[in-house]
Structure 1
Amino acid sequence: MPSSDTEGPESRSTRPRAFIVTTYGLYAREVGGWISVSALIQLMGQLDVDAPSVRSAISRLKRRGLLEARKVNGSAGYGLSRQAREILDEGDQRIFGRRRAELADGWLLAVFSVPEAQRQQRHLLRSRLSWLGFGVTASGVWIAPHYLYEETREVLERHDLSGYVDLFRADYLAFGDVAELVAQWWDLDGLQRLYDEFLSSFFPVRDRWRRADAGSDAEAFGDYARVLTEWRRLPFLDPGLPPELLPPDWHGARAAALFDELREKLTERAHRFATSVIEEH
């Protein structure tokens, strides 16, 4: 399942693309990675995305190398590229297998220097580190919980960025208060606002699905696609810092519990609807 690596903060123009990425991440890989255009249009209709917007979003995803046009049994459709599959697989681990660091784990430091003539590589490196959940301590010195080491190494090697970076395991010794420093290294206020927005948006959805007459399978698909689309970027912005270093009123745990409850309630019904549409087309 993808992250903000594929789609940034949601807007009216990016939302159709984000919904399509979510749908491919949830259902395409189990059917060979391919979905017909007609099936995608029908599925996106449950999310209030019209056919022209679907086709425009598909075109953008194709240009970015995430989708590849091909026909199956005479039907036009799009399959996942190798790059997209890698992004989805990486996303699954972070989104559905969240970890929380412990203070005893220590820190991972990424120290890098990229020549001025290679600005594109510098931009790519910074975006990869941000996507992995690193905070910034100083120019060219980024920090993350140490449990992200293996994932960081794999991502940097895959993108040919390892030659610019040295990775260190570190312990904080002196002289400041680590909780105060963490609030400088990461935008915790901004992340808290995103968690609050998520809670405000989806508490009513949870309450509705707690009722016996909550809705149809099609409605379950629409709600699950929305909740996952909004949720999937958050685990990449939140590196899973130790609870001792987070504000006392931190809402990340409540948001995660809400996502887990909705996922449990909606997954089966949403899957039943989506696969029936995909198989029909």
Structure 2
Amino acid sequence: MAEQHTPRSLIVTLYGAYGRETAGPLAVAELIRLLAAVGVDAPSVRSSVSRLKRRGLLVPERTEHGAAGYTLSADARQLLDDGDRRIYGHDPAKLSDGWVLAVFSVPEAERHKRHLLRSRLGRLGFGTAAPGVWIAPARFHEETRHTLRRLQLDPYVDLFRGEHLGFAPTAEAAARWWDLAAIAKQHEEFLDVHGPVLRSWEARTGTPPEDAYRDYLLALDSWRRLPYADPGLPEELLPGGWPGARAAAVFTGLHARLRDAGAEFTRTAA
């Protein structure tokens, strides 16, 4: 199945992978060059940058040479910093760490915020324990706090930390809280697309910067969604043959082989 890489997602991935290394903003012309390498045309880059600006993630700023450019907002940097801990840290949670519960109530007159809150908790990896009660491994509590405050949803939510005391076995309960089959399918799809890419690179002797940049950015753009769809549950709660570790190993292999070589392409003059 072909993967879907949107221009907006690729721009966020580019800033997350390489944009934070630069002292100043990325010039618009440079964004166009770097996104062209992964098949995005200039009009799509410009319109996507405008949307990210309206969302408060990119801030217009001139480069040292006076060219139009964009840098990350403080909120965007926090978002990417939080993401780093998920994207590059693949150890599953431990049962002894406990859980974080998000308990919320939104007035009917503001039901659009209820939808936004549910959507955002789902994107943070929370499962649904009951109506208005969402659950995730406890290690996500700080990121959850940052995210809800950034979206001004914190007045509707109380966060708690605790342990599951029954009555159903925790593994049985977790299978209700999350759609584990759907999460496993996402891992398998990542493996189907990027496993052959890693094997191809393992058979090569050199690492051309543009090729490395292209394959790494596309892999990262796909991978960075998975640690949010998959909360990294303790191993004893997962079905046998869980593909998460295999998918993480493929991404780790691509990161080790391609990331630094790809950085050389980002530093090439347009």
What TM-score results when the alignment is normalised by the length of structure 2?
0.91
Which of 55, 62, 65 is equivalent to 2:46? 55
Alignment of 1:32-111 (within 5 A): 32=23, 34-72=25-63, 73-111=65-103
SS in 2 for 1:129: helix
> Residues 132 and 236 of structure 1 are in contact (CA less than 8 Å); yes or no, is this contact kept in structure 2?
yes
1:170 aligns with 2:162: yes
- Whether 1:148 aligns to 2:140 is yes
Give the counterpart letter for 1:192 in structure 2.
Answer: A
Answer whether contact 2:90 2:248 (CA < 8 A) is retained.
no
- Unaligned residue ranges in structure 1 (runs of 5+): 1-9
8 A contact 1:27–1:275 mirrored in 2: no
The reply to whether residue 179 of structure 1 matches residue 171 of structure 2 is yes
After superposition, the C-alpha distances for 1:236-276 in whole angstroms (9 at most, x for unaligned) are 11111110110101100000011001100001100111122
State which of 111, 115, 118 in structure 2 corresponds to 1:123: 115
> Which amino acid letter does the alignment assign opposite residue 20 of structure 1?
I
How far apart are residue 26 of structure 1 and its match? 1.6
Gaps of 5+ in 2: none
Letter matched to residue 275 of structure 1:
R
- Label 1:173 to 1:85 Cα distance change in 2 as closer, same or farther (>3 A): closer
Partner amino acid for 1:71?
R
Instruction: State the shift of 1:33 in Å.
Output: 5.0
For residue 3 of structure 1, what is the aligned residue in structure 2?
none
Give deviations 1:180-208, integer Å, cap 9, x for gaps: 22122111111111100100101111111
**Dislocated runs of 4+, deviation >4 Å:** none
Does the 8 Å CA contact 1:24/1:33 hold for their aligned counterparts? no
Work out the CA distance in 2 between the residues paired with 1:267 and 1:84.
21
Q: What SS does the aligned partner of 1:221 have? A: helix
Alignment-mate amino acid for residue 220 of structure 1: A
**Aligned-residue CA RMSD (Å):** 2.0
User: Helix, strand or coil for the counterpart of 1:47?
Assistant: coil
Q: Give a deviation string over 1:79-130, Cα, whole Å, max 9, x none.
A: 2222222211221122113442112222222221111122233233323322
CA distance 1:201–1:275, shift in 2 (3 Å): same
Aligned AA for 2:105? S
Q: TM-score, normalised by structure 1?
A: 0.87
Does residue 252 of structure 2 align to residue 260 of structure 1? yes
1:195 to 174, 187, 190: 187
CA separation of 1:71 and 1:174: change in aligned 2, threshold 3 A: closer
Kept in 2, the 8 Å contact 1:68–1:79? The answer is yes
Of 262-271 and 52-61, deviating more is: 52-61
The letter for the 2-side match of 1:21 is V
The one-letter code sitting in structure 2 at the alignment partner of 1:75 is A
Alpha-carbon distance between aligned partners in 1 of 2:134 and 2:84, rounded to the nearest angstrom: 24
Distance 1:18 1:145 in 2: 26
Contact 2:104 2:133 survives alignment (8 Å): yes
Residues 34-89 of structure 1 show CA distances to partners (whole Å, capped at 9, x for unaligned) of 11121111111211222222222222222222222332222122222222222112
> Are residues 245 and 65 of structure 1, via their aligned partners in 2, closer, same or farther at CA, if it must alter by over 3 Å?
same
Letter matched to residue 57 of structure 1: S
**Count of aligned residue pairs for this structure pair:** 267
Amino acid at match of 1:52: P
The alpha-carbon deviation at position 158 of structure 1 amounts to 4.3
More divergent stretch after superposition (263-272 vs 57-66):
57-66
- Native 8 Å contact 2:213 2:265 kept in 1: yes
SS of corresponding position for 2:102: strand
Equivalents in 2 of 1:77, 1:148: separation in Å?
Answer: 33
